[in-house]
Amino acid sequence: MTEDEARTWVLERFGPVATERVVAFVAMVVEEAAHQNLIAPSTIPTIWERHVVDSLQLVALAGPEMHAMRWLDIGTGGGFPGMVVALVREGPVDLVEPRRRRADFLELCVARLGLGDQVRVYPTKVESVTAAARIISARAVASLENLLRGAAHCATTETRWLLPRGRLDEAEITALQKPWHFMFHVEQSVTNPESSIVVLDRVRAR
Ligand SMILES: C[S@@+](CC[C@H](N)C(=O)[O-])C[C@H]1O[C@@H](n2cnc3c(N)ncnc32)[C@H](O)[C@@H]1O
């Protein structure tokens, strides 16, 4: 997918208004990336594919009935996927990011992009967040086991977990079945056929 194709992918799915908001956010990330490490520098030239489309593919996996439901993103970093998701959907989004400078950047984006009524930034680890969500996402943050252990208090059995994982590690899912009950399926990433997104439903501790 070229950068032009990635922009078209976003435009066709989310429309011109949302796409303009994403354009503004991408410009802020690129500018801030000169001052702090938000995304790998080598991925800046391909930011639309590697980070924007990679984030926004999760919206379809959340399902249309989840459009207005609270979404919590663990370890948002420089905004992926949670901030980009907030730019294209209506429902409330909580961004959890303990690194102070990254959280400050997210707060600045919320103010500049007029997202104050929709997005909350928690400058802390998810373990100390007290918010319940119907959708929980986390990209490149921790093992599945640590994610479930750290964020289970933010979930109910109705919560859908959307977890981009890179190359699928079936042993990791098998190991997860010992401490947790859940249903799962695996989606292939649209940005990298070798990467997977693990979708967990009806998660509860055994
Ligand atoms: C590799 S970065 C990924 C950032 C972003 N999700 C992305 O894909 O570009 C991992 C992020 O998770 C955050 N993090 C690590 N442990 C966390 C925890 N327990 N709760 C919330 N965030 C955490 C880190 O501060 C860091 O910004």
Q: Dump pLDDT digits (tens) for 98-108.
A: 999 999 999 99
Give CA 24 to chain center in angstroms: 18
Domain around 126: 3-205
75 assigned to a ligand binding site: yes
Nearest atom within ligand 1 for CA of residue 146: 19
Q: What are phi and psi of 139, to 5 degrees?
A: -115, 125
Nearest atom within ligand 1 for CA of residue 82: 6
Confirm or reject: Cβ of 126 under 6 Å from ligand 1. Answer: yes
Report the number of distinct structural domains present in the chain.
1
* pLDDT confidence of residue 121: 98
Contact between 120 and 61 under an 8 Å Cβ cutoff? The reply is no
* pLDDT confidence of residue 67: 83
Count the neighbouring beta carbons within 10 Å of the beta carbon of residue 104. Answer: 15
Q: Ligand 1 pocket check: which of 44, 52, 76, 141 to mutate, most ligand atoms within 8 Å of Cβ? A: 141
Nearest atom within ligand 1 for CA of residue 102: 27
As given in the structure block, the two tokens for residue 84 are 């980009």
Task: Give the integer Cα–Cα distance in Å for 3 and 18.
Answer: 17
* pLDDT confidence of residue 191: 96
ipTM of the complex in this document: 0.99
* pLDDT confidence of residue 11: 98
CATH number at residue 81: 3.40.50.150
* pLDDT confidence of residue 114: 97
* pLDDT confidence of residue 76: 98
Cα 97 to ligand 1 centroid, rounded to whole Å:
6
Give pLDDT < 50 ranges for the chain: none
